[in-house]
């Protein structure tokens, strides 16, 4: 059941949203602000203070300069509870500062999926050893912090295709509850080229039990993107890629019901809605021929 935010929290959220919007207007590189579980909070930093670093839940946070304003760009895990949360700051003079910001509730729909391969729903003991090993590797890639700043916080779609499963769905495989959907499924055809949404470094690739053939791109300062179920991988770990480079082809490897691309975005080790990083659609000119 969706929680009804308290009036004071709503007033605080509105004030914070106004400040965040002001920063976003000056810097088109900022993603869309949506301070909900699985979303992104944009928190302006105090004026007149030189902030050397910021953290949320013990994880370093990306800081962006937009004109004269610096903004913390915070990824909020899907398990984040609605209410007031704290951003920890360290000033250049060593002072510690705490900023409170609100997180509102969001209800995600359910999705029920039937899989013929029951091992992909209830893995066997031999599978669990492999899965545990792979999970450590996946978590390491998604949690990495590269001090280099991202070239952009506005990403392009890796494939032009309809969305078959949106972010955040509460999933049931063969009527058994599983973790929420932590990415965006794009229903591209088998063999469709997948393009890097922005420049970065290939931090890892591999064939995983659930994810199938997978590529990770580290864009810098906690922004990592992941691509799953590929039929072919065209890049290697350590390789630098540019926006638009082909990194592989759409496939149906791993736990799938058909060919598609699962695209995930991780920010300060929180899986967040990839659509918040897409450029807004251009307004159409009604007077154009």
pTM: 0.82
Residues 59 and 148 in one domain: no
Q: Are 266 and 75 in contact (CB under 8 A)?
A: yes
Q: Where are the beta strands (DSSP E) in the chain?
A: 40-44, 51-56, 59-60, 62-66, 69-75, 83-91, 96-103, 110-113, 163-165, 170-173, 176-177, 184-186, 193-195, 200-208, 212-220, 223-233, 240-241, 246-250, 261-267, 270-272
- State pLDDT tens for residues 243-287: 999 999 999 999 888 899 999 999 999 999 999 999 776 544 444
Q: Give the per-residue pLDDT at 171.
A: 53
Say how many C-beta atoms besides its own lie within 10 A of residue 267's C-beta: 27
Task: Identify the domain containing residue 172 by its residue range.
Answer: 110-277
- Report the sign of the C-alpha dihedral through residues 141, 147, 153, 158, in that order: negative
Task: Average the pLDDT over each of 60-64, 83-87, 116-120, 271-275 and give the range with the smallest value.
Answer: 116-120
Among the candidates 103, 133, 167, a domain finishes at 103
Q: Is residue 207 part of a domain?
A: yes
Q: Give the per-residue pLDDT at 117.
A: 62
Q: Give the per-residue pLDDT at 126.
A: 84
Q: Is residue 117 part of a domain?
A: yes
CATH number, position 115: 2.70.70.10
Residue 268, phi-psi category: left (phi > 0), alpha (psi -120 to 50), beta (remainder): left
Q: Give the per-residue pLDDT at 159.
A: 97
- Structural tokens at position 277: 């990083």
Residues 227 and 145 in one domain: yes
- State pLDDT tens for residues 187-219: 999 999 999 999 999 999 999 998 999 999 999
Residues 73 and 134 in one domain: no
Residues 71 and 123 in one domain: no
- State pLDDT tens for residues 212-241: 999 999 999 999 999 999 999 999 999 999
For residue 80, CA distances in Å to 40, 210, 271 come to 11, 25, 11
CATH number, position 66: 2.60.40.1590
Q: Is residue 2 part of a domain?
A: no
Residues 30 and 172 in one domain: no
Among the candidates 103, 137, 171, a domain finishes at 103
Element (H, E) at 13: helix 7-26
For 1, residues 6+ apart whose C-beta sits below 8 A from its C-beta are none
Rounded to whole angstroms, how far apart are CA atoms 257 and 246?
24
Rounded to whole angstroms, how far apart are CA atoms 173 and 53?
41
Q: Is residue 260 part of a domain?
A: yes
Among the candidates 103, 128, 148, a domain finishes at 103
Domain count for the chain, please give it.
2
Q: Give the per-residue pLDDT at 68.
A: 77
Residues 94 and 115 in one domain: no
For 116, residues 6+ apart whose C-beta sits below 8 A from its C-beta are none
Q: Is residue 78 part of a domain?
A: yes
- State pLDDT tens for residues 107-145: 887 665 665 565 666 777 888 899 999 999 999 999 999
Percent of the chain at pLDDT above 70? 80
């Amino acid at each position: 059941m969706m929680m009804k935010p308290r009036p004071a929290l709503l007033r605080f959220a509105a004030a914070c949203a106004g400040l965040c919007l002001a920063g976003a207007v000056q810097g088109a590189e900022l993603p869309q602000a949506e301070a909900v579980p699985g979303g992104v909070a944009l928190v302006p930093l105090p004026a007149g203070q030189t902030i050397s670093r910021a953290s949320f839940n013990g994880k370093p946070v990306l800081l962006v300069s937009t004109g004269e304003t610096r903004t913390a760009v915070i990824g909020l895990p899907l398990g984040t509870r609605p209410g007031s949360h704290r951003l920890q700051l360290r000033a250049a003079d060593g002072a510690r500062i705490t900023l409170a910001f609100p997180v509102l509730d969001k209800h995600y729909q359910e999705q029920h999926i039937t899989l013929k391969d029951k091992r992909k729903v209830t893995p066997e003991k031999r599978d669990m050893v492999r899965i545990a090993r792979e999970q450590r590797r996946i978590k390491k890639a998604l949690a990495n912090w590269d001090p280099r700043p991202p070239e952009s916080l506005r990403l392009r779609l890796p494939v032009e295709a309809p969305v078959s499963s949106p972010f955040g769905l509460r999933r049931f495989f063969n009527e058994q509850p599983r973790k929420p959907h932590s990415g965006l499924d794009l229903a591209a055809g088998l063999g469709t080229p997948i393009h890097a949404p922005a420049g970065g470094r290939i931090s890892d690739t591999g064939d995983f039990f659930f994810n199938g053939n997978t590529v990770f791109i580290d864009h810098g300062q906690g922004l990592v993107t992941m691509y799953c179920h590929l039929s072919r991988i065209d890049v290697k770990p350590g390789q630098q890629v540019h926006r638009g480079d082909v990194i592989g082809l759409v496939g149906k490897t791993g736990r799938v019901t058909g060919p598609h691309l699962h695209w995930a975005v991780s920010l300060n080790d929180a899986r967040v809605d990839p659509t918040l990083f897409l450029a807004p659609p251009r307004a159409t000119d009604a007077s154009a021929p």
